[in-house]
C-alpha cells in the first residue's frame, strides 16, 4: 500500500483530540478548537521586474483569539500548504497559552520562493498580502511576525502598507522589526535563553547541580548558539554542537572534550553559516558524523536544529547518562521515540514550552510598540525569565501531581486555558 504523505494538520488534530479526551471537553469546545476560527485564502497579483504579472497564493489562519489577538509568523515557501499553516496556527495557540501570555494563535504563508524573487518583487508580495486582509489584522486583532524565509525588512514593508491603508502609526501590528524601528532588544537571544531557563528549573527540580553537567546540542543556529552560551554561563559544559555543511550536503558534529566555545565557533563559520572543519580541528575539535550528538555521554540533550530528529530508529542510541531532553526545535521527537523516552524516565521539556522564549519576547515587542516606549535589555531578560520559569513550573507541577509525561501535561494546561477562555466569553 502507498504510504500516506505526512500531514501536519492531521497530527495537530490528533494531539488536540488526545488532550481534549483527557480533559473531558464537551463536543462544542472540541469542534471550536480543532480547526481555525477564521481562515483567509487570497490571491496576490504582483508586477514582476520584467513587466509581466504573476499571481501568488496567500493564506492567514486565525486558530483562536479567545485569549487575545492571534500571534504567529508569515512563511514564504514554494511548497507551502494550507494544512501546514493550519497546524502551525493551532500550535501557536498552545504555545502562547502554556506560557500564559495574553495572545492567541495564528499563522500565514505565501506560496513563493524568495530565492528567485528580487527585493522589489518580494516587497510587492508583502504589500499585496497586507492589502488583502488589512481590516482583519492589526495590533488588537492579529499580529504577524517573521518565519521561514521572511525577516525584519518584510515586516517593515507590511507595517508600512497597513499604516498607509488604515491611516496612522500602528507599530504593534507586527513583530520581528529591527531594533530602532520598533523591535525589542533581546529578541536574538530570547529563544535560546528561554530554553536554558527551563533547563535550569528542571535541574533544580531533579536535584541536579548544573555546574556538574554536560550538554550535547544539535544545530548551531540562532537557538543553539544562545542556549549554549547561557548553559556555559550557568557553569555547564557543552560537549558538542552540530551543523549542516552546505558544500558537503551533510551534517557534522563538532566535539571538544574540554567544551565547546560558541564565540570561537561563530568566528570560524563560512559564508554558508557552516562551521569550517579544518579551522575547528586546528583549535582542538573532533569532527564526527552529524548524528553523533545523540549518543554522547551527557546529562542534557538539546535538539535545536529541525523536526523529526529523535526517532524510533535512533532513540536507543541515547546514552544512559541522559536525564533531560530540552526541545529547542519544533517537533524534533517523533511519537514513537516519545514512548521510549517516557519509559526510560528521561525528563522531557516539550517544544512548545521549551522554545516559547521567542514568542514571549515578540509579545514584549508588541507591548513596547503599543506603548511606544522601549525597555532596557536587562528588563527584557528578567521578564522573559519570569514568564518561562512560571510556564515551566505550572507544567511540571501538573505532571508531578497527576503522574503525566511533561508533553501531555503541557497540552492539558494549554488546551484547558484556551477552553476556559472560550467558556468565559460565552462562546461555547
- Kindly indicate which of the ranges 77-85, 126-134, 156-164, 326-334 contains the residues binding ligand NAD, using the contact rule CB under 6 A: 326-334
Tell me the residue nearest to ligand NAD as measured from the CB: 221
**CA–CA gap between residue 17 and residue 21 (Å, rounded):** 6
Whichever of 109 and 221 has its CB closer to ligand NAD, that residue is: 221
**CA–CA gap between residue 61 and residue 87 (Å, rounded):** 9
Asked whether 381 and 66 are in contact (CB, 8 A), the reply is no
Give residues 76-105 in contact with ligand NAD (rule: CB under 6 A). none
- Residues 16, 20, 21, 23, Cα dihedral to 10°: 140
Cβ-Cβ contacts under 8 Å for 2 (sequence gap 6 or more): none
Q: Is 243 a binder of ligand NAD (CB under 6 A)?
A: yes
Q: Is 228 a binder of ligand NAD (CB under 6 A)?
A: no
**71 sits in which H/E element:** strand 70-77
Whichever of 329 and 388 has its CB closer to ligand NAD, that residue is: 329
What cell does 426 get? 460565552
* DSSP annotation of 371: H
Cβ-Cβ contacts under 8 Å for 368 (sequence gap 6 or more): 182, 184, 374, 375
Minimum CB separation of residue 95 from ligand NAD in Å reads 8
343 exposed, middle or buried (CB, 10 Å; 0-12, 13-18, 19+)? exposed
| Binding residue for ligand NAD, selected from 37, 145, 305, 412, defined by CB under 6 A | 305
Interaction pattern, residues 260-299, with ligand NAD; x per rule: CB under 6 A: ------------------------------x---------
- Kindly indicate which of the ranges 75-83, 239-247, 395-403, 409-417 contains the residues binding ligand NAD, using the contact rule CB under 6 A: 239-247
Q: Is 363 a binder of ligand NAD (CB under 6 A)?
A: no
| Binding residue for ligand NAD, selected from 221, 236, 262, 391, defined by CB under 6 A | 221
**CA–CA gap between residue 154 and residue 76 (Å, rounded):** 10
* DSSP annotation of 329: S
Whether 107 sits among the annotated catalytic residues: the reply is yes
**CA–CA gap between residue 359 and residue 106 (Å, rounded):** 12
Asked whether 322 and 295 are in contact (CB, 8 A), the reply is no
Q: Residue 206: count other Cβ atoms within 10 Å of its Cβ.
A: 12
Q: Is 222 a binder of ligand NAD (CB under 6 A)?
A: yes
Q: Is 150 a binder of ligand NAD (CB under 6 A)?
A: no
Q: Is 330 a binder of ligand NAD (CB under 6 A)?
A: yes
- Kindly indicate which of the ranges 25-33, 278-286, 323-331, 391-399 contains the residues binding ligand NAD, using the contact rule CB under 6 A: 323-331
341 exposed, middle or buried (CB, 10 Å; 0-12, 13-18, 19+)? buried
Minimum CB separation of residue 330 from ligand NAD in Å reads 4
**CA–CA gap between residue 328 and residue 192 (Å, rounded):** 7
Q: Is 175 a binder of ligand NAD (CB under 6 A)?
A: no
- Kindly indicate which of the ranges 33-41, 209-217, 220-228, 394-402 contains the residues binding ligand NAD, using the contact rule CB under 6 A: 220-228
Q: Is 358 a binder of ligand NAD (CB under 6 A)?
A: yes
Q: Is 183 a binder of ligand NAD (CB under 6 A)?
A: no
Q: Choosing from 71, 107, 177, 387, which is the catalytic residue?
A: 107
Cα 117-122-128 angle, rounded to 5 deg: 135
CA 202 to chain CA centroid, Å, is 20
Whichever of 128 and 328 has its CB closer to ligand NAD, that residue is: 328
- Kindly indicate which of the ranges 199-207, 237-245, 276-284, 372-380 contains the residues binding ligand NAD, using the contact rule CB under 6 A: 237-245
By annotation, the residues acting in catalysis are: 107
Applying CB under 6 A, the residues found at the interface with ligand NAD are 191, 218-224, 242-244, 251, 290, 304-306, 328-330, 355, 358
Amino acid at each position: 500500500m502507498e504510504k500516506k504523505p505526512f500531514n501536519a494538520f492531521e497530527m495537530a488534530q490528533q494531539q488536540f483530540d488526545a488532550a481534549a479526551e483527557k480533559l473531558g471537553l464537551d463536543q462544542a469546545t472540541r469542534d471550536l478548537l480543532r480547526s481555525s476560527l477564521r481562515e483567509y485564502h487570497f490571491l496576490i497579483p504582483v508586477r514582476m521586474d520584467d513587466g509581466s504579472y504573476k499571481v501568488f497564493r496567500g493564506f492567514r489562519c486565525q486558530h483562536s483569539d479567545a485569549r487575545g489577538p492571534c500571534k504567529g509568523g508569515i512563511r514564504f515557501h514554494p511548497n507551502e500548504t494550507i494544512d501546514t499553516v493550519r497546524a502551525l496556527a493551532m500550535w501557536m495557540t498552545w504555545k502562547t497559552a502554556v506560557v500564559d501570555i495574553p495572545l492567541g494563535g495564528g499563522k500565514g504563508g505565501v506560496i513563493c520562493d524568495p530565492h528567485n524573487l528580487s527585493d522589489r518583487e518580494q516587497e510587492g508580495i508583502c504589500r499585496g498580502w497586507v492589502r488583502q486582509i488589512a481590516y482583519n489584522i492589526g495590533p488588537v486583532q492579529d499580529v504577524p511576525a517573521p518565519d521561514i524565509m521572511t525577516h525584519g525588512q518584510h515586516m517593515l514593508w507590511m507595517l508600512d502598507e497597513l499604516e498607509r491603508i488604515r491611516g496612522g502609526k500602528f507599530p504593534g501590528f507586527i513583530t520581528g522589526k529591527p531594533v530602532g524601528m520598533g523591535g525589542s532588544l533581546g529578541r536574538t537571544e530570547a529563544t535560546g535563553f528561554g530554553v536554558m531557563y527551563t533547563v535550569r528549573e528542571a535541574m533544580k527540580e531533579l536535584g541536579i547541580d548544573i555546574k556538574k553537567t554536560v550538554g550535547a546540542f544539535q544545530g548551531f543556529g540562532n537557538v543553539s548558539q544562545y542556549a549554549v552560551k547561557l548553559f556555559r554561563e550557568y557553569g555547564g559544559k557543552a560537549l558538542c554542537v552540530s551543523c549542516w555543511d552546505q558544500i558537503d550536503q551533510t551534517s557534522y558534529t563538532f566535539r571538544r572534550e574540554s567544551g565547546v566555545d560558541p564565540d570561537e565557533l561563530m568566528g570560524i563559520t563560512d559564508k554558508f553559516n557552516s562551521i569550517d572543519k579544518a579551522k575547528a580541528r586546528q583549535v582542538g575539535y573532533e569532527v564526527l558524523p552529524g548524528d553523533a550528538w545523540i549518543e554522547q555521554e551527557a546529562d542534557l540533550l538539546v535538539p535545536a536544529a529541525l523536526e523529526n530528529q529523535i526517532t524510533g530508529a535512533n532513540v536507543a542510541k541515547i546514552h544512559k547518562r541522559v536525564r533531560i531532553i530540552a526541545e529547542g526545535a519544533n517537533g524534533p521527537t517523533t511519537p514513537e521515540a516519545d514512548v521510549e523516552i517516557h519509559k526510560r524516565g528521561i525528563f522531557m521539556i516539550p517544544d512548545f514550552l521549551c522554545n516559547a522564549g521567542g514568542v514571549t519576547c515578540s509579545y514584549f515587542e508588541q507591548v513596547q510598540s503599543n506603548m511606544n516606549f522601549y525597555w532596557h535589555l536587562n528588563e527584557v531578560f528578567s521578564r522573559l525569565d519570569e514568564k518561562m520559569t512560571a510556564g515551566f513550573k505550572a507544567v511540571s507541577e501538573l505532571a508531578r501531581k497527576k503522574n503525566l509525561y511533561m508533553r501531555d501535561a503541557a497540552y492539558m494546561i494549554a488546551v484547558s486555558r484556551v477552553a476556559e477562555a472560550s467558556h468565559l466569553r460565552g462562546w461555547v
